[in-house]
């Protein structure tokens, strides 16, 4: 039980610690990004006001990317968290497409996750809402939990031989640039229940979608 309590305390404190790390000398290379590029999905249906909410919701999906530090110099940690205002929203799938950088990583594992998040590393797959993404690694934050608002999941990626944190950021910037996206490192996520999900007896209210990482986020840095 003491070990469990220690783990839960670490999880609860993980996001604030990562945020504070941004201002500490020696880890200034850490970056925080948002996913403000809608790909496909319900997208808010035919209502323009709902379209604006759902298709712009990727600004509320955040990832903090940091080197593993002295304890894990050959790793990079990706901390995903949900800042949607809708309490029933959830992040369900995370896809890593390394593009031409096939030697960037050698493995990925789940390092930490909030209580109630049931993330798993699963075989890569395709997803209709992430059209154009050819995943090399796939994280399923399994239904019905997913990553709900205020919760997080940390993916620890083992760097390939000779690869560095700078290589990861360079490949990610390449993937975020529309002109070079197809060859760069891209991260996509799927999210559902962005407007709360359907009421009983209704199949869908079209409040889901796939989103791609776009670039650094001032908003995510302040959360």
Please report, for the chain, the start and end positions of each structural domain, with discontinuous segments joined by +: 2-221
* Cβ-Cβ contacts under 8 Å for 69 (sequence gap 6 or more): 27
Structure confidence at residue 30 as a pLDDT band (50, 70, 90):
confident
- Give the residue from 173, 206, 179 showing the smallest Cα distance to 192: 206
pLDDT at residue 223, rounded to an integer: 57
Mean predicted confidence (pLDDT) in 183-204:
96
So what's the pLDDT on residue 172? 96
Q: What is the mean pLDDT of the segment spanning 77-100?
A: 96
- Phi, then psi, of 105 in degrees rounded to 5: -130, 155
Distance CA 137, CA 45 (A): 30
- Per-residue model confidence (pLDDT) at position 218: 83
Q: Which residues are paired to 91 by β-bridges?
A: 147, 191
**CA angle, 25 then 27 then 28, to 5°:** 75
93: its two tokens: 């799938």
For residue 16, what pLDDT band results from cuts at 50, 70 and 90? very low
Q: Is it the case that residue 27 has pLDDT exceeding 70?
A: no
pLDDT at 19: 43
What is residue 142's predicted lDDT score, i.e. its pLDDT? 77
Residue 57's pLDDT is 96
- pLDDT of the residue at 186: 98
What pLDDT score was predicted for residue 222? 63
Total residue count of the chain as it appears in this document:
223
**Closest among 125, 49, 52, 56 to 92, alpha carbons compared:** 125
Would the pLDDT of 70 be above 60?
Answer: yes
Residue pair 146/90 in contact (Cβ under 8 Å)? The answer is: yes
Cβ neighbours of 89 (radius 10 Å): 25
Predicted local confidence at residue 145, as pLDDT: 80
Q: Which of 192, 6, 214, 203 is nearest to 93 (CA)?
A: 192
**Which carries the bigger pLDDT value, residue 18 or residue 112?**
112
Q: Which residue has the higher pLDDT, 121 or 222?
A: 121
Q: To the nearest whole number, what is the mean pLDDT of the chain? A: 88
In the predicted model, is pLDDT for residue 175 greater than 70? Answer: yes
């Amino acid at each position: 039980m003491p070990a469990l309590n220690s783990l839960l305390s670490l999880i609860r404190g993980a996001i604030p610690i990562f945020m504070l790390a941004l201002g500490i000398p020696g880890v200034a290379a850490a970056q925080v990004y948002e996913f403000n590029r809608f790909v496909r999905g319900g997208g808010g249906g035919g209502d323009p006001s709902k379209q604006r909410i759902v298709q712009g919701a990727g600004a509320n999906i955040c990832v903090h990317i940091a080197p593993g530090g002295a304890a894990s110099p050959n790793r990079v940690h990706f901390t995903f968290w949900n800042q949607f205002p809708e309490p029933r929203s959830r992040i369900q799938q995370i896809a890593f497409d390394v593009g031409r950088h096939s030697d960037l990583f050698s493995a990925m594992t789940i390092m930490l996750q909030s209580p109630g998040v049931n993330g798993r590393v699963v075989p890569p797959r395709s997803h209709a809402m992430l059209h154009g993404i050819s995943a090399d690694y796939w994280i399923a934050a399994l239904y019905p939990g997913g990553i709900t608002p205020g919760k997080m999941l940390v993916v620890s990626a083992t760097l390939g031989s000779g690869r560095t944190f700078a290589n990861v950021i360079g490949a990610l910037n390449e993937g975020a640039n529309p002109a070079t996206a197809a060859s760069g490192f891209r991260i996509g996520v799927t999210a559902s229940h962005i407007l709360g999900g359907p009421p009983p007896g209704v199949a869908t209210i079209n409040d889901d979608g796939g989103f791609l990482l776009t670039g650094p986020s001032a908003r995510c840095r302040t959360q």
